Structure 1
Amino acid sequence: MDQGASRPAVPRSRERRLDLDRARGIAILLVVFGHVVAQQAPEGNTWYEPVRFAIYRFHMPFFLYLSGTVVVLSGLLATAPPAWPAALRKRAVRLLVPFFGIGLFILAAKLVALQLVYVDNPPEGLGGGLRDLFLTTARSPALSVWYLLVLFLCTIVALLLRRLGSTGLVLLGLALQFLEVPPLVYLDRFASHFLFFAAGLWVAERQGRMLPAFEAWQPLWWAAFALGIAAAELEWLDARWSMVLCGLLCIPALHGAIRRPPVSAWQWPLALGRYAMAIYLFNTLAIGGGKAVLIAGGIGWTEAWFPLHVAVAMALGLGVPVLLKRLVLRRIPPVDRLTD
């Protein structure tokens, strides 16, 4: 933790933070929209790729920021070293069991589906799929699961280096942006996203000052965020630094907006937020299945049919995981806990 009397310790939060639930709901909606297209939008389409590019500048950084916030509010970062093994075992069950389970399930589902229908991002057989899933992860057949492993790695690093304080961890995250980390075991994504996790730690430890500032200066934050998105779209910055800029600027803009009316009264983000883990785990399977059925039914991956593909993908990507959670996973307590 940072040293100094100016920053009081953050007590473990026992009260449900509805702003964080709403933030997760809005963030998971953006995730599903980004997953509508696994590789390339249909030729001739001009609107989706710029929107997806903009979303990818900030939506996963925002998720990592929220995760860092929760780590502080839950008291995990304050865990005494003798209790680290137990805490990390619990964290591993929470994050790594779904990481391996869903990754292997997606790989198996794609290997079976390849015999029947069109499959996005197909694996190169069982051996190649396993290699790409866990080692050469730039070509992972289940790329969407990276967040779970990266969040686990962020937790370990934050605990081991907590004497640096949250400011030191933010500086470490900035330093990692200058490294060219190979895409092995998702370490490249850890290096590019640890900064935002550390930003969540930093803000949570100062939430008494920072959150009111986020709310009070909304026009300023949104103007800065909009300029960051414009700089990214106009390619004034490369992909890495545009994500750094937009990922940091989105924090006060989005979190402040979520805490103010009218967003603070919206109910739909709360509903999605409650199912965020299930949606994250299962949305790509639902989207891929829907796309395969549409193509098999003669509705091609074309500019003319693309709006229907988007609508179906969004409906399935959100609806199927929620129904799966409510109708099936709730009946299996260990799986229910892992997908909460």
Structure 2
Amino acid sequence: MPTRDHRLDRAKGILIFTVVLGHLLARTGPWDDDVLRAPMYLIYSFHMPAFVFLAGITAKSTRLPERVLTFLVLLFTVLPLLWGWMWIFDLDPDYSFLTPFWYSWFLLSMAYWIITVPFIERFPRTVLVTSVVVGLFGGILPILDMELSASRSMIFWPFFVIGKLYGKQILDWAGSLRIWQKLFFTAAALGTIGYFYLDNVDYYWFYGSLNFAHFDVSIPEGVGLRLIIDIGSVLMTLMLLMWVGDKDTYIAKIGRHSLAIYVVHGFVVRGLQPLLDDTQDVLSTPLILIICLVLALLITYVLSWGPIERALRWYSSTVTRLLLAPFALLRPKPGRHSEKTSS
């Protein structure tokens, strides 16, 4: 029996912590503050591309309808609950039927990417080249933006494809590097983030949710900046994989429960939003950063509780099974075809 690769779990554990921390910091208005802007650039430069890359490593083409429906069930469960939750706290959910709200875009995009897995397996080079072209040039299209998570799905798709095709090799390679090589790539990664910070690059580029028209740039400028940001994401992802380690610690457990943490943490963050909105008016920014770090650790720790993860998986699998039940009659029963041919 193959043993579980704890490097994947540990990487997911670290990344889901950065997701929670980034969403907490985002509620404090960090982009205009020199102290809070630094961790935001660090987090948003790579955390979702890295997550998508790791998702590609574990993606499979078996039981494709169940895998796709699982994410759609979670999406259409989270959206109404989150809108109701925000209404309770007198917050604006910015409702739009065609636009997945806030962090729920990832659930829809995962459904898209999983659909492409059979094509990745059948036409690996063609899909790889196509995904890179779409990721770099997709921002040209004026009609595809935040609606139906189109822009993010295109921009982050290459990371999923690369993860599917070469993820395990990259993971092994990153872990086998010598210390001086790790330090070199770490310096390159942090240097790229330093450039983003010092040049005050528009943070919406890291969200991947808007096309070039929103940034008022030419096509060469848009493609060039998209490429630079992608290179930064690659370097930061490699840095994570180089130093992540392979022990089965609590970080690995958090990583195994990362989907449940991702789905539920938004409710906690939005519940805390009324307290976080005006913190810069009463607290120093270093103290705000410390508070958000402590809150992120607590939220990640509590939401990694096993029963939460098991309940979410039971719910999504049960609803998925019920939705697919009517189609079970259309599937040929095993052995029926062979019986007819033998007679």
Shared fold, TM over 0.5: yes
Q: Residue in 2 aligned with 1:233?
A: 197
Question: Is the 8 Å Cα contact of residues 67 and 197 (structure 1) preserved in structure 2?
Answer: yes
Question: CA–CA distance in 2 between the matches of 1:175 and 1:135?
Answer: 25
* From 169, 187, 196, the counterpart of 1:223: 187
**1:243 positional shift:** 2.9
**1:281 positional shift:** 0.7
Q: Residue in 2 aligned with 1:155?
A: 114
Q: Which moved further from structure 2: 184-193 or 93-102?
A: 93-102
Q: Residue in 1 aligned with 2:300?
A: 318
AA partner of residue 195 (structure 1): P
* From 130, 135, 142, the counterpart of 1:172: 130
Question: CA–CA distance in 2 between the matches of 1:54 and 1:95?
Answer: 28
The one-character-per-residue Cα deviations of 1:92-130 (angstroms, maximum 9, x if unpaired) are 23211111111221111112221xxxx3xx125xxxx2x
Question: Is the 8 Å Cα contact of residues 57 and 164 (structure 2) preserved in structure 1?
Answer: yes
Q: Any idea what SS the aligned residue of 2:199 has?
A: coil
Higher relative contact order, chain-length normalized (CA < 8 Å, sep 6+) = 2
Question: Is the 8 Å Cα contact of residues 283 and 321 (structure 1) preserved in structure 2?
Answer: yes
Q: Residue in 2 aligned with 1:68?
A: 56
Asked whether 1:48 is paired with 2:36, we answer yes
* CA distance 1:329–1:206, change in 2 (3 Å): closer
* CA distance 1:241–1:50, change in 2 (3 Å): farther
Question: CA–CA distance in 2 between the matches of 1:208 and 1:38?
Answer: 30
Q: Residue in 1 aligned with 2:269?
A: 287
AA partner of residue 50 (structure 1): A
**1:161 positional shift:** 4.8
* From 101, 104, 118, the counterpart of 2:77: 101
Q: Any idea what SS the aligned residue of 2:147 has?
A: coil
* CA distance 1:214–1:232, change in 2 (3 Å): farther
Asked whether 1:26 is paired with 2:6, we answer no
Greater Rg, structure 1 or structure 2?
2
Question: Is the 8 Å Cα contact of residues 34 and 52 (structure 1) preserved in structure 2?
Answer: yes
Q: Residue in 1 aligned with 2:232?
A: 246
**1:212 positional shift:** 5.4
* From 143, 146, 150, the counterpart of 1:183: 146
**1:37 positional shift:** 3.1
* Structure 2 unaligned spans of 5+: 206-225, 319-343
AA partner of residue 196 (structure 1): F
* CA distance 1:52–1:194, change in 2 (3 Å): same
* CA distance 1:205–1:295, change in 2 (3 Å): closer
* Structure 1 unaligned spans of 5+: 1-12, 80-86
CA RMSD of aligned residues (A): 3.3
AA partner of residue 234 (structure 1): L
AA partner of residue 226 (structure 1): L
**1:135 positional shift:** 0.9
Identity over aligned pairs, percent: 22
Question: CA–CA distance in 2 between the matches of 1:295 and 1:35?
Answer: 11
* CA distance 1:268–1:337, change in 2 (3 Å): farther
Question: Is the 8 Å Cα contact of residues 158 and 169 (structure 1) preserved in structure 2?
Answer: no
Question: CA–CA distance in 2 between the matches of 1:147 and 1:34?
Answer: 15
Question: Is the 8 Å Cα contact of residues 113 and 157 (structure 2) preserved in structure 1?
Answer: yes
Structure number with the higher helix fraction is 2
Count the aligned residue pairs. Answer: 288
Question: CA–CA distance in 1 between the matches of 2:317 and 2:239?
Answer: 32
Q: Which moved further from structure 2: 313-322 or 39-48?
A: 39-48
Question: Is the 8 Å Cα contact of residues 69 and 200 (structure 1) preserved in structure 2?
Answer: yes
